[in-house]
Amino acid sequence: MKLRPQLRNRHIPAPLLGIGIAIARIIDDVNERIGRAVLWLVLAVTLISAANALIRYGFGMSSNAWLEIQWYLFGAVFLLAAGYTLKHNGHVRIDVLYGRWSPRARARIDLLGTALFLLPLCALMVWLSWHGFVESFQRGELSSDAGGLIRWPVRLLIPLGFALLGLQGVSEIIKRVAFLRGQGELPHEPPMEEV
């Protein structure tokens, strides 16, 4: 009969995991605050869109700048709130099997999916989009449309949004590891919308 050798240092030391949990709480707080602030951008986009339509069709006047600010704010809502949405379990998930598995199995799947897919994607998107932002900022790039806006703020949204999403992914990994080690609980937030 062969005995399985004991793995040493199999558990993450409690102080190290404690630091990780503190970091996860900070990341959660940052994404929570940004997500709540971004909610106000939805109101701004709605008001700007309504005013722009009223001025265009009521008075026959139009401005490319007003159209572009709508697009910029719309992009900001989706990109900056991605981490907030992940924190609140609001991203699309195929739940055919996932919902039937035990919490430990779900934590393992979340851990693997985040580490193997989400974090590499976020790192790649930040890396690929950063150069475009820097170049746009240095050149003072403007919209090609008459009366359009400067482009670098909207280009900054891409690496910033994916960085926030990646940070939230790190937070979710820390929480899953703590749960699997018996040193924490998973958030019991149900998906935002079940289909």
**pLDDT grade for 5, boundaries at 50, 70 and 90:** very low
pLDDT, residue 94, reads: 67
CA angle 174, 180, 185 (to 5 degrees): 70
Q: Which residues of 118-145 are buried (b: 16+ CB within 10 A; e: fewer)?
A: bbeebeebbeebbebbeebeeeeeebee
pLDDT tens profile 111-120: 999 999 999 9
pTM of the model: 0.83
Cβ atoms of 22 and 175 within 8 Å: the answer is: no
Cβ neighbours of residue 133 closer than 8 Å, sequence gap 6 or more: 152, 155, 156, 158, 159
pLDDT tens profile 21-60: 889 999 999 999 999 999 999 999 999 999 988 988 888 8
pLDDT, residue 39, reads: 92
pLDDT, residue 3, reads: 47
